[in-house]
Structure 1
Amino acid sequence: MSKLCVIYNMAAKYRAPIFQLMDKEMDVDWYFGNPIGDIKGLEPELLKNATIVNRKIWKGLTWQKGILKHLVNKNYDRYLMLGEPFTLSTWAFMLLKKIVVPEKKVYLWSHGWYGRENFTKKWIKRAFFGLADGNFLYGNYARKVAIEQGNNPDKLWVIHNSLNYSKHIELRRLIKPSAIYKEYFGDDNPVLIFIGRLTKIKKLNQIFEAVAFLKKQGSNYNVVLVGDGEERSMLEIEAIKLKIPVWFYGSCYDEIKNAELIYNADLCVSPGNVGLTAIHAMTFGTPVITHSNFSNQMPEFEAIIPNKTGNFFTENSIQNLVESISKWFSDKNYSRERIRQYCYKEIDNFWTPKYQLDIIKKHLS
């Protein structure tokens, strides 16, 4: 079997585990666009045959230089590309493939569909993803939306997402309960945590409003924000104004400490889209609450199984968020350890690099 050629606009650092596993078990050449913006890129030296190619961005459109020549490279008959419709070079690559080397196969890996596409975007995506010989999607919701919009279900495969699972499992085996929150807050109140960038889209002020409302009802909660971002100063002012206990822990790249913080929290709350925060939290046994408008969500919301690995509330409804938090802790049959095991099972079964690799091998063989 020939080499697999992987072409990505850029390789985000969090993808290192799945890419390294592919590199180990498959014969791959990698071509990544040069990093642009503040997203941390993967170090090319982590992979055996990785090349950084220049890319240009103009009014939101991207062109990766020098990738079209790989179509006629006899070493490749399979290509795995980032499925980004705004990358014009990917359109050109797939169109030329149809004309010049139709026997070769091109596969796309992407979010795919969100369910909020307007008429124009629906048809652009249908044309773009239709050019591929197969599409790896992050979630079942995206696949469902794609099928409803007339796309071929036989070319749509759910691959989910993952973090550094092998490292996290090592930490999970070692971690134990600690008094980190009792020592900081001086009480045993339930702890609500968020881990990730403190950005506007995460709507973290809604956590504060909900906790302030619960406090008026006589239910006290502590809040921990692990991360930094442009919203931090506003949130600090809001916490003082509402007189609620918040630990602004700041950015933390020490996974041992992150594991302790997540494991010892009671519930992760992400009022905006949840993303990989859900995977990070559940990996260390902490359930997640986020909103239920799935067209405004990231694919990782699918890891949430109501009443087992978390729950949903009505988007932007502080009252419903209050009810969801309160209900989570008021269940007479609530068992923190049982919930922890539900979270572990969900992550171990579906959100690992090994799971992703198995899907890739199944459809690229």
Structure 2
Amino acid sequence: MKIKTCCILNIAPIYRIPIFNLMGKELPCDFFVGDKVGSPIKKMDYAKLLGFTKELQNKRIYHNFYWQKGAVAAVFKPYKNYILTGEPFCLSSWLILILAKILGKKTYLWSHGWYGNETRSKRILKKIFFNLATKLLLYGDYARELMIKEGFKADKLIPIYNSLDYDSQINFRNKSTQTSIYFEHFGNRNPVLLYVGRIQKIKKLDLLIEVVGILSKEENHACNLVIIGRETDDFELKNLVDKLGLQTSVWFYGESYKEEELAELIYNATLSVTPGNIGLTVMHSMVYGLPVITHNNFAEQGPEFEAIQPGFTGDYFEEDNINDLLRVIKSWLVKTNNQKENVRNDCYKIIDEKYNPHNQIKILKSVLST
């Protein structure tokens, strides 16, 4: 019988069901999973997780530091490889890493790695923690390059990227066509700017609404804006829309978890724009061929930002600079139909090559076999 890999995670987010179930089937894996302390992340139903073994209790120790009760015992079980959430605040993970070294077992930390905005104390903490592991599984190449500059060995750093429910999305993508959904709502064929995600102040959607207001006064540049998501902050966006007289140009669609519905909305839009920090929205937009615009302060971005290749799959603007956001959006609105089709294919390509569970499982199999 093949020896299983042990996965010890702080939480299993619902969006990772496809990759975790693929790991449970093809590696295979046993999963020990807890609830991250104070996390707003929606967890999956662990009963639906293939290979689920035990739910761990995350106990807060001090500030952000916590202990996963029951996790350390797994290091004494007959596993050869251990994949852990790469979070230095999890004190039990430190002990697992140390014991695994003593016992001659291999450990892999799945982590954001480096952001580029670490304080001196956090840099020291991360360096010690990450160097205890056999290898690091990173969300992208940006973190890898930063860590090489910090002195980490290149062969220790393995980009594994991220993924959503790729197979389901590809099924909807293959069925997608241009529809009249936006014409029926707005009564015009103006370009459509789209935001998908939680409606929070950190996303800076007020900048996007102001840009739509400016464009509405310029000849041949009027745009519609669709905002999809649940409002989580007390944010006065609708008042701003009223103030700028944009009631007929902005559609607060609300939240939706129906992929068929989202596929039509994303496929038929012109640009995906997030003026604040961005993450999974990049993958969700590009899998349906929609280019993405966000700000250029990469140290504050989610790791998925690097899928944006300026001029091909999207663009960056100077953070908090409304004039630069306006400039970048306008530069994309003038693209020809042939250029738009090339962009759509470029978006497909990067998701199909990197940001999907099939690529991730291929990388994991390769790493764990060495």
Judge same fold: TM > 0.5, yes or no.
yes
Q: Which letter does structure 2 place at the counterpart of 1:300?
A: E
| Alpha-carbon separation, structure 2, partners of 1:166 and 1:333 | 28
- Residue 353 of structure 2 aligns to a residue whose secondary structure is helix
User: In 2, are the aligned partners of 1:134 and 1:156 still within 8 Å (CA)?
Assistant: yes
Matched, 1:261 2:262: no
Q: For residue 342 of structure 1, report the CA deviation from its aligned partner.
A: 1.3
Q: Which letter does structure 2 place at the counterpart of 1:305?
A: Q
| Alpha-carbon separation, structure 2, partners of 1:148 and 1:202 | 30
Q: For residue 206 of structure 1, report the CA deviation from its aligned partner.
A: 1.1
Q: Which letter does structure 1 place at the counterpart of 2:116?
A: G
User: In 1, are the aligned partners of 2:14 and 2:45 still within 8 Å (CA)?
Assistant: yes
User: In 1, are the aligned partners of 2:200 and 2:235 still within 8 Å (CA)?
Assistant: no
| Residue of structure 2 in register with 1:89 after alignment | 92
Q: For residue 332 of structure 1, report the CA deviation from its aligned partner.
A: 5.3
Listed as ranges, the gaps of 5+ residues in structure 1 are: none
User: In 1, are the aligned partners of 2:201 and 2:235 still within 8 Å (CA)?
Assistant: no
Matched, 1:345 2:346: no
| Alpha-carbon separation, structure 2, partners of 1:80 and 1:180 | 44
User: In 2, are the aligned partners of 1:275 and 1:297 still within 8 Å (CA)?
Assistant: yes
Q: For residue 20 of structure 1, report the CA deviation from its aligned partner.
A: 0.8
- Residue 254 of structure 2 aligns to a residue whose secondary structure is coil
Matched, 1:165 2:169: no
Moved more, 33-42 or 89-98: 33-42
| Residue of structure 1 in register with 2:76 after alignment | 72
| Residue of structure 2 in register with 1:239 after alignment | 241
Q: For residue 331 of structure 1, report the CA deviation from its aligned partner.
A: 3.9
- Residue 2 of structure 1 aligns to a residue whose secondary structure is coil
Q: Which letter does structure 2 place at the counterpart of 1:140?
A: D
User: In 2, are the aligned partners of 1:122 and 1:149 still within 8 Å (CA)?
Assistant: no
After superposition, where does 1:215-294 map in structure 2 within 5 Å?
215-218=216-219, 219-231=221-233, 233-244=235-246, 245-294=249-298
- Residue 154 of structure 1 aligns to a residue whose secondary structure is helix
| Residue of structure 2 in register with 1:13 after alignment | 14
| Alpha-carbon separation, structure 2, partners of 1:264 and 1:137 | 32
Q: For residue 233 of structure 1, report the CA deviation from its aligned partner.
A: 4.6
Question: Relative to 1, partners in 2 of residues 1:332 and 1:70: Cα closer, same or farther, differing over 3 Å?
Answer: closer
| Residue of structure 2 in register with 1:194 after alignment | 195
After superposition, where does 1:1-365 map in structure 2 within 5 Å?
1-34=2-35, 37-50=39-52, 51-58=54-61, 59-73=63-77, 75-99=78-102, 101=103, 103-218=104-219, 219-231=221-233, 233-244=235-246, 245-331=249-335, 335-365=339-369
- Residue 98 of structure 2 aligns to a residue whose secondary structure is helix
- Residue 79 of structure 1 aligns to a residue whose secondary structure is strand
TM-score between the two structures when normalised by the length of structure 1: 0.96
Moved more, 79-88 or 199-208: 199-208
The CA deviation string for residues 334-357 of structure 1, in whole angstroms up to 9 with x for no partner, is 632222111111110110001111
Q: Which letter does structure 2 place at the counterpart of 1:275?
A: G
| Alpha-carbon separation, structure 1, partners of 2:331 and 2:185 | 26
| Alpha-carbon separation, structure 1, partners of 2:169 and 2:152 | 37
- Residue 137 of structure 2 aligns to a residue whose secondary structure is strand
TM-score between the two structures when normalised by the length of structure 2: 0.95
| Alpha-carbon separation, structure 2, partners of 1:201 and 1:302 | 19
User: In 1, are the aligned partners of 2:20 and 2:50 still within 8 Å (CA)?
Assistant: no
- Residue 284 of structure 1 aligns to a residue whose secondary structure is coil
Q: Which letter does structure 1 place at the counterpart of 2:236?
A: M
Q: Which letter does structure 2 place at the counterpart of 1:263?
A: Y
Q: For residue 67 of structure 1, report the CA deviation from its aligned partner.
A: 1.2
| Alpha-carbon separation, structure 1, partners of 2:150 and 2:196 | 34
Q: For residue 13 of structure 1, report the CA deviation from its aligned partner.
A: 0.4
- Residue 161 of structure 2 aligns to a residue whose secondary structure is coil
Q: Which letter does structure 2 place at the counterpart of 1:21?
A: L
Moved more, 234-243 or 5-14: 234-243
Q: Which letter does structure 1 place at the counterpart of 2:265?
A: L
Q: For residue 328 of structure 1, report the CA deviation from its aligned partner.
A: 0.8
| Alpha-carbon separation, structure 1, partners of 2:275 and 2:366 | 36
Q: For residue 98 of structure 1, report the CA deviation from its aligned partner.
A: 2.7
| Alpha-carbon separation, structure 1, partners of 2:216 and 2:179 | 25
User: In 1, are the aligned partners of 2:97 and 2:132 still within 8 Å (CA)?
Assistant: yes
The CA deviation string for residues 189-235 of structure 1, in whole angstroms up to 9 with x for no partner, is 10000101111211111111111122233321110011012347511
Q: Which letter does structure 1 place at the counterpart of 2:94?
A: W
- Residue 54 of structure 1 aligns to a residue whose secondary structure is strand
Moved more, 217-226 or 191-200: 217-226
User: In 2, are the aligned partners of 1:198 and 1:232 still within 8 Å (CA)?
Assistant: no
Q: For residue 330 of structure 1, report the CA deviation from its aligned partner.
A: 2.1
Q: Which letter does structure 1 place at the counterpart of 2:333?
A: F
CA RMSD across the alignment: 1.4
Moved more, 342-351 or 331-340: 331-340
Q: For residue 34 of structure 1, report the CA deviation from its aligned partner.
A: 3.1
